[in-house]
Amino acid sequence: MISLEAGPRPLVMGVVNVTPDSFSDGGEWFEPEAAIAHGRALLAAGADVLDIGGESTRPGAERPSVEEELRRVLPVVRELAADGAVVSIDTMRAAVAAAAVEAGAAIVNDVSGGLADGEMAGLVAAAGTPFVVMHWRGHSADMQSRAVYDDVVADVCADLADRVEVLQGQGIRRQNLIVDPGFGFAKTAEHNWTLLRRLDEVIALGLPVLVGTSRKTFLGRLGVPEGSEPRPPSERDLSTAVTSFHAARHGAWAVRVHDVASTVGALDVADALRESP
């Protein structure tokens, strides 16, 4: 079982999107064989956890059926877990989470924090698996219309604290909860940067924190002239690695990334700078 104690170096969670329409890789790993091979490559590059998801959460994405989501993820979860990988299932559906845990998944990562499916909390409580609770304000189709905050960091922290309390009341043990501030979900670019600048306030909630900035649009706008299209997702890995370095310096439990090698390199630098001469 993987530790939820924040160590001197964040764990690296490698993303395996088994979707035809992911914003980051455009369905490159949609077929099970390709997704399994990609997961193995991420492990070889240094990933500690593989986060396998069958539903795109990019803005405006349509949801697949439960049956289709299961068809996408279960062969991948089963094979990679059998390899000995620590597998996280990225889903908002209790039925998918239950099947994935039975197939070997060790973590449930729900971008809705249990809000999208009323049965999720009970399933996770019964299974006893770690549960990632992301800050969420609605499904991808209209989430950006809800990016309104008085103080984004204070509001996100308050929402997460409230959600954690509810989930504990539904039987999930606090020691199994991980929080994620939800970069890019109902957040503007400035909201995302503010959350990163004030990451210490999220860490101060006293729970393991997962940071998921990888290839997000706000990183793609760096260095691009006003009014121009952001750089494509595949060109955002260096910026992602810098945010992983930042997360390491502030005590994040884990970072969720598409390109594992660049983030592992950034964390190696953070380790070297922390060591005494």
Per-residue model confidence as pLDDT tens digits over 33-61: 999 999 999 999 999 999 999 998 776 66
The domain segmentation of the chain, as residue ranges, is 130-222+234-266
- Burial class, 189, CB count within 10 angstroms (exposed 0-12 / middle 13-18 / buried 19+): middle
- Burial class, 1, CB count within 10 angstroms (exposed 0-12 / middle 13-18 / buried 19+): exposed
* pTM score, whole prediction: 0.93
What pLDDT shows up at residue 276?
59
Tell me which residue of 66, 79, 63, 65 sits closest to 31, measured CA to CA. Answer: 79
Residues annotated catalytic, as ranges? 216, 256
Cα 144 to the chain's mean position, in Å? 18
As a whole number of angstroms, the distance between CA 219 and CA 228 comes to: 14
> What mean pLDDT, rounded, does the chain reach?
92
Q: In CATH terms, is domain 130-222+234-266 a member of 3.10.129.10?
A: no
Phi-psi region of 177 (alpha: psi -120 to 50; beta: other; left: phi over 0): beta
Mean pLDDT over 129-136 rounds to 97
What pLDDT shows up at residue 2?
81
What pLDDT shows up at residue 95?
97
Percent of the chain whose predicted confidence (pLDDT) is above 90:
80
Position of tokens 């992602």? 240
Instruction: Please say if the pLDDT value at position 146 is more than 90.
Output: no
What pLDDT shows up at residue 144?
66
Q: In what order do the strands lie in the sheet with 131-134?
A: 177-180, 131-134, 107-110, 87-90, 49-53, 11-17, 254-257, 210-211
Instruction: Please say if the pLDDT value at position 29 is more than 70.
Output: no
For the chain, the three-class secondary structure string (H helix, E strand, C coil) is: CCCCCCCCCCEEEEEEECCCCCCCCCCCCCCHHHHHHHHHHHHHHCCCEEEEECCCCCCCCCCCCHHHHHHHHHHHHHHHHHCCCCEEEECCCHHHHHHHHHHCCCEEEECCCCCCCCCHHHHHHHHCCCEEEECCCCCCCCHHHHCCCCCHHHHHHHHHHHHHHHHHHCCCCHHHEEEECCCCCCCCHHHHHHHHHCHHHHHCCCCCEEECCCCCHHHHCCCCCCCCCCCCHHHCHHHHHHHHHHHHHHCCCEEEECCHHHHHHHHHHHHHHHCCC
Q: Tell me the two tokens of residue 58.
A: 């990019």
Instruction: Give the tens place of pLDDT for each residue, 213-227.
Output: 999 999 999 989 988
Residue 143 banded pLDDT, cuts 50, 70, 90: low
Identify the residue with better confidence: 236 or 275.
236
Instruction: From residue 65, give the alpha-carbon distance in Å to each of 68, 92, 161, 166, 277.
Output: 5, 12, 31, 28, 55
Instruction: Please say if the pLDDT value at position 147 is more than 80.
Output: no
